Structure 1
Amino acid sequence: MAEIQPVRAWRYNAELSQRIDDYVSPLFDVVSQKQRETLYRNPLNSIHLSVPRPGPDPSGEALRRLTDWEQSGVLRQDALPGIYAYYQYFRLPGSPQEFVRKGFMCHIRAYDWGENVVLRHENTLPAAVNDRAELLARTQFQTSATHGLYRDDSHELERYLDEAILDPLCQTEEDYQGARDVLAVIQDARVIRRFQQLLAERQIILADGHHRYEGSLAYRQARMAAEPANTGAEPWHFHLMYLTNAASNDLRILPTHRLLLELPGGLTDAEFLARLEPYFVVTPKEDAGDLPDIIAGKPWAFGLYLSGQPYKLRLRPEVHEQLSWDTTPEVKQLDLTVLHYFVLERALGIVGPDAQRQWPGVTYVRNFPECLQRVDRGEARAALITNEVTMQEVERVCHSGAVMPPKSTFFYPKTLGGLLFTSIRDTEPVGLLG
């Protein structure tokens, strides 16, 4: 199945690594414009490589800066190949419990989707893929790892990771999410081979970073077309990935709520509720703040906040068979599929997944209080509150060969850019273990 390789990572030099908080950055698809502008003010922040400032030639500017950082010693390449343990210590909002997500970064062969080794659970936007592919082609440098999931119920690799993390290379005090990030390295060839052997028996589910992964695929396909005599061992066949165990109790997926910025056709609140009635039991509630608790653990249940009034929506079980989208039974069982079909399509008339992805009347918000506030401020007509997707649901959908509705998963916390980088230049050796 999955072929992984150790890497000789490029990292900030020893002095800068002691202040790594100053140089890490959020991933390109979650960093806000305000965060970008703040980070751009630091001339050595990793944002300059991962999300170069817009201009006539942003990819060229990233390459110029990368070359300067390498030549001046801002970045240095580790002398030995390794697999890099990466732990994130975090708490969920309102909970005192500390979790730790354990994983490791390495190179993985960039498998086409049809090879059924790396599995996706969402579709991508071509413009974002092209942007990532262009940056990769110019720099031949991977600036942030995508997040992949393998399943190992025996948790065999964690003991090696736990040992390595006791001797960290660098760590943040607290990142922008409130998490503490710790990086270490495993350079024992025997241990690395065991990682390779275990992953060789596994499929990988792509949790986060579909656009970056497809950017690597696009670049690899272009190089293969230009070099038909390639051996398959060239560095550009590989992609930087952060791998975590899907069997871990500390793997967290947060819900993403739907905010309706408008109701199509000038629907009134009463008309919207009337359109929901054939499909849902609609129950008014007293306190909007209770909506997440009211729907927690209940299938096909949602919170609705409309003009200051909270409601619980529960699908009438007998109508589920009306869900006629051409997809797998695993997808049809999802809460979010039910929501998108019976609310967006049946009640609001936005017909089909493609039309819903393009409809400007819906936006996606992860912060529950923000949903209520934006409705109260008149910035949105209604908020639809959802439960989180489970890891088991993600696995079932991926193995069915289908994809989820947009913005179904939010794996938390997000990984950081800037802890390490990897090169896929032609001069970079692959394998490295002899």
Structure 2
Amino acid sequence: MAEIKPLRAWRYNGELSAQMDELTSPLFDVVSNKQREKLYQNPFNSIHLSVPKGNNGIENAATLLQKWKDEGAIQQDPVYGIYVYYQYFSLAGSTKQYCRKGFICNIKAYDWDEKVILRHENTIPKAVNDRIDLLEKTQLNVSPTHGLYTDPSFELEQYMDESMKYPLYETEDYQGVRDVLSIIHDASVINRFLEMLHDKQVILADGHHRYEGSLLYRKRMMESNPQHTGHEGYNYHLMYLTNTEADDLRILPTHRVIKDLPHFSEQEIMKKFEEDFIIKPVEDAFNINEIILGKQWAFGLLFKDSAYKVRLKPEKIDTLKWDFPDKIKRLDLTVMHYFIIEKVLNIPGRDQRTSENIDFDRSFSDCLARVIKNEAQMAIITNDISMADVKEVCYSGYTMPQKSTYFYPKVICGFLFSSIKDEEFQSPPHSCF
């Protein structure tokens, strides 16, 4: 079902790539303002293409990209390849070392209705529009999104392990993660990758805005091109693919921060919670993560001077009015967005995607700091999500609220770029692809 292709990536020349640590950057939706300003100081850092600076940033990115090509700062690989990408990491509070194994390729930008690439969360329209504009001007996929395929046999890992004996780059990124890239050129091995994915569905783990940008741009180009064949570069999207069966997929919780609600009253809000939730005050807010850990439908509430554990009364789950299958209704995130954000805070579900009153924050300490400093009115602390939950949602055809998952670690930007310009995308005469 999933058509993937090897690619001839654009990569920094040998002189620049010797300082690869100085050229990589976080993805556009996780890079902080402080990080951006530091990275902008390097004129060759990938941030200039992924999050271009200034009011004319997108036009500047297109101009800069052409300059880099003309001057040889980045060069296109002459031979097609599958790019193997490993990330070595550990989690806070644990000494266990993980290695997430995957590979980067081009994949057709399938419409959601084709059910080849499955999404599990909604997108924020403004962010999608920004990604379309950048793709249109630069004709470049600057960073791969993250997709998941399922292969219990782990066949492809043996080829990836062999490739990793000869790495192209090895860096430590902003997350403290060791990122390693290598490449497979063997045509027979590449074809095995293509064959393996041919009958697979792919779950989109991370990068919904960038993928949807590619999808909408493909539709726009199809409509404007009477000679459309389906093989043009605009039909494809850059993706990092990992195996759902591996023990290296970690999904961290994303908490909700509430701000700028009119007539906000902690006392009145907690009164509303009494209808549907069991409420327990928490003396030490720093312990709230541990208090709710592993408990279904349990959440932490942080206010400036107080904290609570709330847990949905079991009989109340049947009063959830949203038209979802039972398995989706029972997810913690559905419970939070219906019973807390809609019923208690009066932000209707249809408005939550675009609400200026909801922020998303992965850091518990940041959430606590924001409410203490009066930068937010309250924070809702939630548990993490399992891979089984993600699969459940994807195969049901429904989606979670935006920013529901945070697959860790994030891929980085700067190792390679993928052009969708036809003269750079299409196979040269000597290629077997």
TM-score, length of structure 2 as denominator length: 0.95
**Within 5 Å, which residues of 2 pair with 1:418-429?**
418-427=414-423, 428-429=425-426
Matched, 1:296 2:298: no
CA gap 1:109/1:316 in 2 versus in 1, 3 angstroms = same
Structure 2 residue aligned with 1:36: 36
Structure 2 residue aligned with 1:238: 236
User: Displacement of 1:226 after TM fit?
Assistant: 2.0
Measure, in 2, the Cα distance between the counterparts of 1:219 and 1:305: 41
Query: Alpha-carbon deviations, 1:325-368, whole Å to 9, x = none?
Result: 12333321110110111112222222x22223333333211111
Gaps of 5+ in 1: none
Query: Alpha-carbon deviations, 1:297-324, whole Å to 9, x = none?
Result: 1111111223433322111010111100
Gaps of 5+ in 2: none
Q: 1:22 corresponds to which letter in structure 2? A: E
Secondary structure of the 1:265 match is coil
Measure, in 1, the Cα distance between the counterparts of 2:124 and 2:174: 26
Kept in 1, the 8 Å contact 2:218–2:235? The answer is: yes
Structure 2 residue aligned with 1:353: 349
Structure 2 residue aligned with 1:314: 311
**Within 5 Å, which residues of 2 pair with 1:8-407?**
8-56=8-56, 58-172=57-171, 174-261=172-259, 264-267=262-265, 269-350=266-347, 352-407=348-403
Q: Greater CA deviation, 407-416 or 46-55?
A: 46-55
Q: 1:248 corresponds to which letter in structure 2? A: A
Secondary structure of the 2:102 match is strand
Q: 1:288 corresponds to which letter in structure 2? A: A
Measure, in 2, the Cα distance between the counterparts of 1:416 and 1:320: 40
Kept in 2, the 8 Å contact 1:264–1:348? The answer is: no
Q: 2:357 corresponds to which letter in structure 1? A: G
Kept in 2, the 8 Å contact 1:299–1:335? The answer is: yes
Measure, in 2, the Cα distance between the counterparts of 1:170 and 1:195: 22
Q: 2:250 corresponds to which letter in structure 1? A: R
Measure, in 2, the Cα distance between the counterparts of 1:185 and 1:378: 50
Q: 1:193 corresponds to which letter in structure 2? A: N
How many residue pairs get aligned? The number is 430
Measure, in 1, the Cα distance between the counterparts of 2:345 and 2:69: 54
Kept in 1, the 8 Å contact 2:285–2:302? The answer is: yes
Query: Alpha-carbon deviations, 1:366-418, whole Å to 9, x = none?
Result: 11112222222222232221001111111110111111012110111111111
CA gap 1:272/1:222 in 2 versus in 1, 3 angstroms = closer
Measure, in 2, the Cα distance between the counterparts of 1:395 and 1:88: 23
Measure, in 2, the Cα distance between the counterparts of 1:294 and 1:266: 26
Measure, in 1, the Cα distance between the counterparts of 2:38 and 2:92: 25
Query: Alpha-carbon deviations, 1:60-101, whole Å to 9, x = none?
Result: 322221121112111111121110001111121222222111
User: Displacement of 1:262 after TM fit?
Assistant: 5.0
Matched, 1:5 2:5: yes
User: Displacement of 1:23 after TM fit?
Assistant: 0.6
Q: Greater CA deviation, 360-369 or 16-25?
A: 360-369
Q: 2:302 corresponds to which letter in structure 1? A: Y
Secondary structure of the 1:249 match is coil
Kept in 1, the 8 Å contact 2:203–2:394? The answer is: yes
CA gap 1:129/1:313 in 2 versus in 1, 3 angstroms = same
Measure, in 2, the Cα distance between the counterparts of 1:281 and 1:90: 38
Aligned partner of 1:412 among 401, 408, 413:
408
CA gap 1:276/1:263 in 2 versus in 1, 3 angstroms = farther
Measure, in 2, the Cα distance between the counterparts of 1:99 and 1:363: 30
User: Displacement of 1:44 after TM fit?
Assistant: 0.7
Measure, in 1, the Cα distance between the counterparts of 2:126 and 2:274: 39
User: Displacement of 1:13 after TM fit?
Assistant: 1.0
Measure, in 2, the Cα distance between the counterparts of 1:61 and 1:288: 46
TM-score, length of structure 1 as denominator length: 0.95
Kept in 2, the 8 Å contact 1:235–1:430? The answer is: no
